[in-house]
Amino acid sequence: MGGKVALITGGNGITGTAIVEHLVKKTSLEEWSSIIVTSRSPFRSTIQDPRIKFIALDFSEGPEALAVQMHEICAPVTHAYFSSYIHRDDFEELNKVNSAIFENFLQALLKVATSLENCTLQTGGKYYNLHLLPVPTPAREDEPRSGAGPDNFYFSQEDALTKAHTGQTWTWNVIRPEAIIGHTLKPNGMNSALTFVLYFLVCKELGVEAKMPTNPIYWDGHDCVSDARLVADLSIYVSTNSHCANEAFNVNNGDYFTWKYMWPRLASFFGASATSDQVFTRPMPSLGTLQQELSLAEWSKDKREVWDRICDKASMPEAKATWDAGTWGYQDWVFQRAWAGTLSINKARKFGWTGHIDSFESLTDSFKSFQDLGLIPKLE
């Protein structure tokens, strides 16, 4: 019998990149005979493996049209990983565009992949609405859905998956990370680590304190992040172990931290100046409201020339384009919350998964990967 056949969507994204890298680096031809990758635009990767086959697909097309394009290449797929995403800073627009792309994908997949064994959908902390208001934390997978705020596209995506599964032999999984720490070669929707690098290096160049653009409640509260390598590892683990079938799992690095102590450590990694005694100038916000000392979207507007100067000084003019990969609006979304919210990963542990990484190392590893990929100048 041949090995398993993966289909990874969002191959240019932060999750898709990590799943492809995981299968290439950690699995053999006997285990995974083929790695089919899709994205909307051409595949951009430094990873090479004869098992990789690429097809460009736009999931805003209907299932019939997609099935015609997927028919030949996707027929042998046994394991599908959905990590496509369209980022919009406006929540209503975000929900609308992302509900549709998963349904189109799933219906097309089920038409063509007659040997399907598992479909794994990635959603995230937004499932708990922790991007909108304070919620029970660390959030557990079996929390009742919170009805607050506009429709949540994760509900419709997860419902489409479990509904399609009724009466079928294939299994499903859902993976729910918090802010993902990883890399892409193409600018993506949400990349905290890359946004931090641009901010720290520009503040250092300007000789100003790299204040964390948040509020005192977020600064003091606990947080967690999810390394893309662990997201990939858990995705493969649960989708290939039968005792994990038909379950949703949160994923994070396995530690919890406060930005008050993490932020200055990250700043010093770049030689930028920041302190745990950061002074906030605005009055203490009420819990559950939105407040930010400084908007990164506003701040970034007139800093491109500073970034260009940094790249010129480092003789790396090709890194100038990285400025456009800063996800400023998304980072404002996160940093303006006057509440803290984390995910519990007890469930993944109970199901035997042992992934863990120190979040400081997770972030600095990703900073180093940006250097290795030539996205930012080499650090001294």
Ligand X SMILES: NC(=O)c1ccc[n+]([C@@H]2O[C@H](COP(=O)([O-])OP(=O)(O)OC[C@H]3O[C@@H](n4cnc5c(N)ncnc54)[C@H](OP(=O)(O)O)[C@@H]3O)[C@@H](O)[C@H]2O)c1
- Closest-by-Cβ residue to ligand X is 13
Please name the residue ranges forming H helices in the chain.
14-26, 63-74, 91-112, 153-165, 192-206, 216-220, 228-239, 259-269, 296-299, 304-313, 328-335, 346-350, 359-372
Position 205, amino acid: E
Question: Within 10 A of 153 (CB to CB), how many other CB atoms are there?
Answer: 23
Closest CA to 176 of 230, 135, 257: 230
Distance CA 108, CA 129 (A): 29
Structure tokens at 12: 């240019």
Instruction: Considering the complex, state which of residue 85 and residue 170 has its C-beta at the smaller distance from ligand X.
Output: 85
For the bound state, the minimum distance from the C-beta of residue 167 to ligand X, rounded and expressed in Å, comes to 26
CA–centroid distance for 192 within its chain: 9
Least separation, in Å, of the C-beta of 184 and ligand X?
6
Q: Say whether 97 sits in a helix, a strand or coil.
A: helix
| End-to-end alpha carbon distance in the chain | 51
| Nearer to ligand X (CB atom), residue 122 or residue 215 | 122
Least Å distance, CB 122 to ligand X, is 4
For 51, the token pair is 């098992």
Which CB sits closer to ligand X, 101 or 311? 101
Nearer to ligand X, 71 or 378 (CB): 71
The answer to whether 197 and 270 are in contact (CB under 8 A) is: yes
Nearest-approach distance from CB 232 to ligand X, in angstroms: 11
Cβ nearer to ligand X, comparing 126 with 260 = 126
From CA 4, how far away is CA 1, in angstroms rounded? 9
Residues that bind ligand X (CB under 6 A): 10-16, 39-41, 57-60, 83-87, 101, 122-125, 177-180, 184, 186, 188-190
Q: Considering the complex, what minimum distance in angstroms separates the CB of residue 272 from ligand X?
A: 22
Q: What angle do CA 133, 135, 140 make, to 5 degrees?
A: 140
Least CB distance to ligand X at residue 11 (A): 6
Q: What angle do CA 128, 352, 237 make, to 5 degrees?
A: 75
Between 102 and 263, CB nearer to ligand X: 102
Closer Cβ to ligand X, 67 or 310, answer by number:
67
Q: How far is the CB of 54 from ligand X (least distance, A)?
A: 10
